[in-house]
Every structure is written in C-alpha cells, then in structure tokens.
C-alpha cells in the first residue's frame, strides 16, 4: 500500500521501525526487593563456620541454639509473583537478581500458581517467590527435546507463545516472599504454613531444626532418599527461622547472611588423564586442567577437570596417562580426587609446572601472604595491562559478564572468535564494532547481529559500581567495587587516579585494606589500564552514586574502638550504614564520631580529642541509633 500510495506513510509506520527479535519478547522489570543468590556449604566444618559468623555478628554466646527452617533446594527456575488485592498482577524471572523478564502469561499456565486468592488474611500487596520445575516422570516424556529437566523448565518459561508453555507439565513450589507490605509474621515456618492456607504448594519435606549435629544427621538422611523424590534436588537450604534475627543480620554483596545452601555429596566417575593444560585467568592465575577421556557423571559428559594449582598436583602426584577418580563438586565443577596407582604406566613422568607464562613468556611467581606468613599456592603471570594474550581474553570475558557490563550475545566463545579475527583487543573495541563486517562472518546474520547491537547499546548505561567491577582489578570484587564507588561518587574522580595518586587514601574506606591498595596501585600504574578507562568513559554513560535520601546519618562518619557489649562491631557498622552513615578506618579530620567500647585504643581517643571529634560511649551511641 505504501509503495502505491507514498502519501499515507507516517513516521509510526511498521515499515520504518525495526521490530524486536524473539529473545527480546519479554519486557524487563526491576524487582522491588532484590532476588539474591545463596552461599554454599559442603561439610560440617563449613556449617560450623557459617553459624559461628552469625553468632559473632549478633554477639550471641557460643552455646546459643539457632532455630533453622530447613527446606529442600529444588533444581529449577526461580520466579517471583506479585499479587495486589488478591489478584496475580505480574510474574517475573530472577534475571540478574536486580531485574528479570516479565513472563506473566507463561507463569499463568502453571496450575500450581493461583491467579486469584480470596483468603481473608492474604496481604494486599505481596511478592511470592518459588521454584518452577518439571517432575522426573513428566520429563521422561519430553527428554528427547531437552538436555535436562532444568533446561526444559527454563526454555518453556521463555516461549513467546503461552500456548506452547502450556504443553509442558510445569510445577511450582512457593518458599518465601520478596516485597511484603506489613509483614506481621515472626517466623519463616509460620509464613510457609500460611502459603499453604492461601492455596500455594509448599514442600512436604520442610523442617525446623536446631544444632549443627542435627542438621548434619538430617542432611545425610535426606541425601539417601533424595533419589526417591520425583524431582531434582541439589541440597538443603537453611534459613534462620526468626525474621527479627534475619533483619538484624541483613546481607552481604549478593547473598543473605542468615541463609545458606548445604549441597549434596559430589557425584563421581573414573577416567584417564590425556593431557594437562595450563589455563591463565584474568588476574594471571595459572590453573592446571586435566583433559580426560569423556565420562558421564550424574547425567553430564565431563571432558575437563580442574587440578587447582601446582601444590595439588605435587600432593596427589598427578601425571599424564594416570587413571583417576573425578567428582563434580556441588554437582557442578569437576575435579580430580585421587589416582589409581595400580594402573600407572612405568614410563609415566612427573608433571613439571612452567616457570614462565605459557601465553606471553613472562615470569610466573607466587605472592607472599603477610597475614599467613606463607607463599600462596597459586602461581601467577607477572604481566600487567593487556600484554598477556590469555589474560586479555579472560579480562574481556569478565568485562562482558552478567555481574559486570552484562552484554548478552557476546559470550565467551564469541569473544575468543573475535580475538582470533583481531576484531577485539581491548574492552573499548566492543563499542566500535563494525556490524556490517560481522554480518558476513560464518554463523552470523542480520538477526543475530541486530541482537548483539541491541545488547551492546543497552550496556552503555552503567553504574559506577558495575563499571569498577568490570575492569577486573585483582582483589576488587563486587563488594569492594561498591565501597570504592560509594567513596568516589563520580567517574571524574576515578579518572584522576594514575601512578602518582596517593593510594593510601583508600585505607580510609572500611573494608579496603593493604592488599587491595597494593592491587589498585599496580593496576593504575599501568598506562594501558588508565588509557582503557579514559576511552571507555568517552563511550559509556556512567551514572553517579546518589546519596541516600533516608537515614539520620547522611554525610556523617564513624569509627569504633574497643569491644561493644550486646552488639557486635559488624552489626553496629551495618546499622550505621542502613542510616546512610559511613565507616572510616582511622581517626582523621573527616571523622565525626568515635564510638568507644571496652578497652578502647587510647591513641585513637587522644587523636580524636586533638581534632575535636565527638567521642561517644556505647550507651550514647545506642541512644543516637534509637
């Protein structure tokens, strides 16, 4: 019609607009409360350490019995359901934890998910969270189309046509909440009992348990019977049952302090080591990897297994040609457990760890740990910047990863391919790609290139915190990147950092120590790294860190000296930060309050008096906290 009648063409015509590709069918939606991941424990010792940290944070005595809500960890896909006035308004996938995909219509096809709840005690505004999964007997009927039940559930939820999703026998079990207006429940177990009253399915295996030994006994008992359950499980989740204690404990970077997943024992198999390769990570760590004869372990074909480091190879005397036992730790990472010496060839030779980087030829060395007074087990390439090819590739992979720039469509294999074709050498090359040239490459077309361009353009708006993390600076993980961003506030301040910068300033940030400062100095003393940041800032829109608008301690700084009673130092810091206050690590002119407990450092008190800093005893601090 438009060709015959050009006068009817409007600026909103479909012929003038590029439509979204299938992978962009779902709108993104921010979670009102972040969907965090869980820390993992694998042994009794891990579990003891987990509880010890909780008791220390809460300043409880060692013999205090913590009550846990113990729930099976279903190997499925997390989903969030928002109900208002009893009606299901929208459903969202977990995504990156901060935002997910709006998959409401697909979730509505699951019979276990009530679309309307009329129970008189059901909250007016609540977000119910749970797991979408497929039972094993149902998966057998469709197993030819999917690698495993989890993939089947994930793929079904992302069908653009809900009628296709409806054909897959998906199930849903509810286990917690995200946003909850007026939560009057005092315990997790109480909330779960109400989930059942409201019409949700909950796990029949939920329990309340106290004591490490009882948790271990229950874990062993449950692990023995897990294969009789008609859906996949990969562990048990322990949540502190008391919501008041949960609120006090709060969160670390991406996980709650009050919960952990106790994984089941690893699945194992036997194979032969064909070769030992050395892989170089983004921080220069040399990791030996065994190339083994492919073996099926727990339904997954394994052809590589990590050997961890040089010391591990020496301790187990691992050699090429050895027959070894392989385990998938936590049902995920394969590693070599032991060698069958009876099958060892007399011609086998000890493996010699390289003294130079296999990628760039730089010297490799072990760092000295001043805390443990020992050398680290890991050897590292001494190259800085982007001189080492393998390190460079891994740095770019980190740069585009989910927790960093989050560039969909630019996966690890694509990065390697673009590197080989000399399309990418530095992170800033990503934003100067010639899409018309990529379209001509094998395996690429208009649609895939359109997807890639969309993802790259979308990633150009990034927070300062994520940008710092994306740089891949050694010892600067998500938590430290956040601390640095909160301190620097603006990308302009990051651009001021170079070899001449006074890096000791970072020691004023609580949580940044000598190790991080040394690493930052090494990174910013390299011209290539500094140049990369400058070029990236010209290509990206990096948002400032906005000051929190709530809290009585905005622009106020604190330092604690001495032992506090009834509240741990960690909890006191957490309470200050919740009220928008900042923690300093030394007494200086920027400090507002010095909090003193039992046996404070006299030197700090004298310095505070000298600088006219307000000194608070614990009782005064608690009054200030209200």
Q: What is the DSSP letter of 350?
A: P
Query: How many residues are given for the chain?
Result: 626
- How is residue 413 written in tokens? 């294999």
Distance from C-alpha of 531 to C-alpha of 473, rounded to nearest angstrom: 15
- Residue 136 in contact with residue 231, Cβ under 8 Å? yes
Task: Judge whether 446 counts as a catalytic residue.
Answer: no
The candidate with the shortest Cα–Cα distance to 400, out of 429, 422, 379, is: 429
- Residue 136's nearest CA partner among 78, 76, 79, 93 is 76
Catalytic, out of 73, 239, 390, 466: 73
Give which of 240, 321, 207 is closest to 275, Cα–Cα: 321
Enumerate residues 6+ apart whose C-beta is below 8 A from 454.
21, 24, 409
What phi, psi does 201 have (nearest 5°)? -85, 135
The 10 Å Cβ neighbour count of residue 275 is 10
Backbone φ/ψ region at 394: left (φ over 0), alpha (ψ -120 to 50), beta: alpha
DSSP letters for 458-469: HHTEEEHHHHHH
The full 3-state SS of 310-328, as one line of letters, equals HHHHHHHCCCCCCEEEEEE
Distance CA 123, CA 72 (A): 26
Is 170 buried (19+), middle (13-18) or exposed (0-12) by CB count in 10 A?
buried
Distance CA 602, CA 607 (A): 9
**Distance spanning both ends of the chain, measured CA to CA:** 71
- In sequence order, what are the beta bridge partners of 325? 270, 338
Strand partners, 301: 296
Q: Element (H or E) spanning 448, and its range?
A: helix 446-459
Q: Report residue 616: phi and psi, to 5°.
A: -115, 130
User: CB-based contacts of 332: which residues, under 8 Å, 6+ apart?
Assistant: none
Structure tokens at 235: 């562990």
Helix, coil or strand: residue 383: coil
Q: Which of 427, 375, 416 is nearest to 540 (CA)?
A: 427
**CB count in 10 Å sphere of residue 70:** 22
Position of tokens 């960690």? Answer: 570
**DSSP sequence for 542-565:** EE--PPPS-STTTT-EEEEESB-S
Give me the active site residues, please.
73
């Amino acid at each position: 019609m438009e060709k015959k009648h050009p006068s009817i063409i409007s600026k909103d015509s479909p012929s003038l607009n590029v439509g979204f590709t299938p992978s962009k069918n779902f709108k993104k939606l921010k979670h009102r409360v972040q969907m965090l991941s869980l820390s993992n424990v694998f042994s009794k010792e891990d579990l003891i350490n987990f509880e010890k940290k909780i008791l220390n944070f809460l300043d409880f005595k060692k013999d205090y019995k913590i009550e846990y809500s113990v729930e099976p960890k279903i190997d499925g896909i997390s989903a969030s359901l928002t109900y208002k006035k009893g009606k299901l308004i929208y459903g969202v996938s977990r995504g990156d934890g901060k935002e997910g995909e709006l998959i409401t219509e697909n979730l509505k096809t699951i019979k276990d998910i009530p679309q309307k709840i009329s129970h008189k005690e059901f909250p007016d505004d609540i977000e119910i969270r749970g797991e979408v999964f497929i039972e094993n007997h149902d998966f057998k009927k469709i197993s030819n189309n999917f690698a495993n039940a989890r993939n089947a559930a994930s793929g079904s939820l992302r069908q653009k046509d809900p009628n296709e999703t409806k054909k897959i026998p998906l199930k849903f079990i509810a286990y917690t909440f995200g946003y909850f207006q007026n939560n009057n429940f005092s315990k997790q177990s109480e909330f779960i009992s109400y989930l059942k009253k409201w019409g949700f399915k909950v796990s029949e295996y939920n329990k309340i348990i106290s004591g490490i030994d009882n948790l271990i006994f229950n874990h062993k008992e449950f692990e023995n019977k897990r294969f009789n359950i008609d859906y996949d499980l990969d562990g048990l989740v322990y949540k502190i049952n008391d919501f008041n204690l949960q609120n006090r404990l709060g969160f670390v970077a991406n996980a709650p302090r009050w919960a952990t997943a106790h994984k089941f024992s690893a699945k194992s198999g036997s194979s032969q080591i064909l070769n030992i390769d050395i892989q170089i990570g983004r921080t220069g760590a040399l990791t030996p990897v065994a190339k083994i004869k492919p073996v099926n372990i727990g339904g997954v074909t394994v052809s590589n297994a990590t050997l961890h480091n040089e010391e591990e190879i020496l301790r187990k005397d691992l050699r090429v040609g050895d027959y070894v036992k392989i385990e998938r730790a936590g049902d995920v990472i394969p590693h070599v457990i032991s060698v069958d010496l009876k099958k060892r060839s007399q011609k086998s030779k000890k493996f010699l760890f390289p003294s130079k980087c296999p990628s760039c030829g730089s010297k490799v060395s072990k760092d000295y740990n001043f805390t443990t007074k020992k050398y680290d087990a890991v050897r590292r390439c001494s190259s800085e910047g982007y001189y080492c090819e393998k390190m460079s590739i891994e740095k770019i992979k980190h740069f585009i990863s989910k927790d960093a720039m989050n560039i969909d469509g630019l996966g690890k294999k694509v990065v390697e391919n673009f590197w080989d074709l000399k399309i990418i050498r530095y992170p800033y090359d990503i934003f100067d790609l010639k899409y018309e040239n990529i379209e001509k490459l094998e395996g690429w077309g208009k649609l895939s290139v359109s997807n890639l361009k969309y993802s790259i353009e979308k990633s150009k708006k990034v927070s300062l915190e994520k940008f710092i993390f994306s740089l891949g600076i050694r010892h600067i993980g998500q938590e430290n990147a956040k601390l640095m961003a909160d301190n620097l506030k603006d990308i302009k301040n990051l651009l001021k950092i170079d070899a001449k910068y006074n890096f000791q300033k970072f020691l004023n940030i609580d949580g940044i120590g000598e190790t991080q400062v040394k690493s930052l100095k090494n990174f910013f003393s390299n011209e290539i790294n500094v140049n990369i940041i400058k070029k990236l800032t010209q290509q990206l829109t990096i948002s400032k860190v906005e000051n929190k608008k709530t809290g009585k301690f905005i622009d106020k700084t604190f330092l604690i000296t001495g032992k506090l009673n009834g509240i741990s130092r960690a909890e006191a810091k957490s309470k200050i930060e919740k009220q928008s206050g900042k923690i300093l690590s030394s007494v200086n002119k920027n400090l507002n309050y010095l909090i003193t407990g039992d046996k404070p450092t006299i030197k700090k008190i004298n310095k505070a008096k000298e600088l006219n800093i307000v000194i608070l005893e614990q009782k005064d601090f608690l009054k200030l906290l209200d």
